[in-house]
Each structure stands twice: as C-alpha cells, then as structure tokens.
C-alpha cells in the first residue's frame, strides 16, 4: 500500500527528528543541558522581556509553558532583513504569531545558540555554541577530553549510544555533575563568550532562554493557509478550491483565535484586522534591529 504524507505531517516528522532528540543523543555529542543548577552558575536571578515567534498550530503547547519551569527560546534583537522580521515565518512552526513575554532568564547569548529540546522538555546547547572554541585554551577540546576520560560510553573516543542508554539515569546524573563542575571552573570564560560573540549575516537574532513566563501582548497575522485549513477542518470543504472565501466564516475564524489569545494574556491582542503591523508591534516594545 502506498502511503502519502501531507506537507504538515512531513514537517512534523522532520521537526521531531531535528529538535526533540533523546537525552542520550545530546550526551553523546557533548552538548550542555540547561538545568536549574547550571543556569544558576551563569546567571543572577533576573526577569526580562523578550519575544517568541510561533504559529497557530502551537497554541496548546504555548499554553502549557505559561507559569511553569519549562524553558522557551526567545529573542530581543533581530536582523531587519530576516524573514522573521518581514514575514513572521517560523523555523519549527508555520509562524504568524508573536508573543511578547516576561520570564526568568535561564541563559542569554547575543547570537542564536541553536538550543534544542530533548524528549523531557529540557533544552540543550551544542558545545561549539556554548564553549569558546578555536582559541589558545580551546574549551571545546578540553571538554571533549574530559568526558572521554570520565564518562562510560565516551572513553573509546567515539560516543557509544548503546552504552550510554544502558547506563540509564546513572549516566545522566554523572554527566550533569561533570558539566556543572566544568562550567563552574570556567564560568568567566563561558559568560564572556556568550555575551561577546559578534553578530554576523548568519546570526539573525540573539537567543534568550526563559521559564516561568507570562504573556504580555500578542500579535497574530491571518494568512490564507491558516484560514483554508480551518475551513477544511470545520466546514467539510475538502472539495473546494484553496482560494474559497466566505466572510461569515472568516469572521468566525478571527473570533475563535482572538478569544483563545485573550485567555492567554491580560494584555492586548492584535489580530489581522487591528491595523497593527509586525514592525510597529516589535519596535514599540523595544526590539533592537541590526
């Protein structure tokens, strides 16, 4: 039997493969877990405002993060030439929704540090983004040598996922302790590295990890694909062309999402008919452009 996947199904599969890997895969690569202990080594307690780009399809996931210790990736600076600034396109999502947040700082970097989430919701940072590398005292090399020496599954020089998995929680606990001690011993170098990296053409935003968030204001754009999907799901209109439009249904669609977004914030929700633009929304709330 021939199985045909829709575009959204393919995107979901790719997203899960790329962004929600096993904790042992992250350990095998020597990535850094952003645990509470590690965050406290690098940061003083601080709440800050930032922005998060998401999509209509991720509203439930966003709701589940509010007021919890789950970490979310946000930004305060954006390239004026990026698609995220001009078109609100997302990386993991279809885009179209900008949340202005306030949250506790877990980690700050002035460039995108490619944070990824494991199956438990913990964020990890690739070692080459977290540690200063290619310098006289290359912390990446020192770190890799350290885990080869002390961690079962790394000692051969080539990470062995099966050995790491067989070690279970003992391996995870051991790895976390090694990371914490290494970061504590090299705190100043790491903090300087994260705050002083140069913005380049490839770095369209900074990255700030936040938890215990609250949502201040929301801007969302109504794109044709979202409305078409809504029509197909709720009105059984699979046989109609994608450009089918009905004003009554469109207003119903707007009202549905406005109500959902209002339930997520005590602030203001700006929808497709509000007259607000993405640029004004971001700049009025302190976004830095570079």
pLDDT tier at 6 (50, 70, 90 boundaries)? very low
3-state secondary structure of 269: strand
pLDDT tier at 78 (50, 70, 90 boundaries)? confident
Is the per-residue pLDDT at 100 higher than 70? yes
Confidence at residue 4, expressed as pLDDT on a 0 to 100 scale: 43
Distance CA 237, CA 250 (A): 14
In sequence order, which residues have a C-beta less than 8 Å from that of residue 105 and are 6 or more positions away? 39, 43, 46, 47, 48, 208, 209, 210
3-state secondary structure of 219: strand
Residue 232 half-sphere exposure toward CB, CA atoms < 13 A: 12
Q: Is 247 exposed, middle or buried (0-12, 13-18, 19+ CB in 10 A)?
A: exposed
Helix and strand element counts for the chain (H, E): 12, 10
Residue 120 half-sphere exposure toward CB, CA atoms < 13 A: 12
- pLDDT tens-digit readout, 55-70: 888 899 999 999 999 9
- pLDDT tens-digit readout, 151-192: 877 766 677 888 888 888 898 999 999 999 999 999 999 999
- pLDDT tens-digit readout, 200-252: 555 578 999 999 999 999 999 866 567 777 777 676 655 555 455 677 888 88
Confidence at residue 163, expressed as pLDDT on a 0 to 100 scale: 82
Q: The tokens of 199 are what?
A: 């913005």
How do beta strands 47-55 and 96-109 pair? antiparallel
Distance CA 191, CA 183 (A): 10
Q: How far is CA 252 from the centre of its chain?
A: 30
Give one word for 67, left, alpha or beta, with left for phi > 0 and alpha for psi -120 to 50.
left
Is the per-residue pLDDT at 71 higher than 90? yes
DSSP type of residue 207: E
Most confident stretch, 3-7, 83-87, 276-280: 276-280
Confidence at residue 210, expressed as pLDDT on a 0 to 100 scale: 97
Q: Where are the domains of the chain?
A: 19-113+124-289
Q: What is the DSSP string of 116-145?
A: EE-TTS-EEE-HHHHS--SSTT-HHHHHHH
Looking at per-residue pLDDT, the higher value among 48 and 8 belongs to: 48
Closest CA to 41 of 50, 32, 49: 32
Confidence at residue 49, expressed as pLDDT on a 0 to 100 scale: 97
């Amino acid at each position: 039997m021939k199985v045909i996947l829709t575009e959204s199904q393919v995107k979901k599969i790719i997203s899960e493969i790329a962004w929600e890997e096993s904790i042992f895969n992250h350990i095998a690569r020597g990535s850094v877990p952003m645990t509470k202990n590690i965050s406290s080594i690098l940061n003083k307690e601080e709440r800050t405002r930032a922005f998060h780009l998401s999509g209509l399809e991720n509203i439930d996931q966003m709701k589940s993060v509010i007021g919890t210790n789950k970490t979310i990736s946000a930004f305060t600076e954006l390239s004026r030439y990026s698609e995220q600034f001009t078109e609100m396109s997302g990386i993991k999502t279809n885009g179209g929704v900008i949340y202005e947040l306030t949250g506790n700082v877990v980690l700050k970097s002035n460039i995108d540090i490619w944070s990824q989430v494991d199956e438990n919701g913990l964020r990890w940072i690739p070692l080459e983004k977290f540690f200063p590398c290619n310098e006289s005292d290359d912390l990446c090399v020192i770190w890799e040598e350290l885990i080869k020496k002390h961690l079962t599954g790394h000692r051969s020089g080539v990470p062995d996922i099966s050995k790491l998995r067989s070690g279970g929680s003992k391996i995870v606990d051991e790895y976390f302790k090694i990371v914490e001690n290494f970061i504590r011993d090299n705190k100043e170098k790491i903090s300087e590295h994260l705050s002083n990296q140069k913005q380049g053409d490839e770095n369209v935003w900074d990255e700030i990890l936040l938890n215990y968030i609250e949502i201040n204001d929301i801007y969302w754009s109504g794109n044709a694909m979202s409305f078409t999907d809504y029509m197909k799901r709720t009105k059984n209109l699979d046989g109609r062309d994608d450009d089918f439009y009905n004003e009554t249904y469109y207003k119903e669609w707007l009202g549905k999402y406005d109500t959902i977004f209002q339930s997520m914030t005590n602030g203001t929700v700006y929808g497709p008919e509000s007259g607000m633009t993405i640029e004004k929304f971001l700049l009025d709330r302190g976004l830095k452009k570079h």
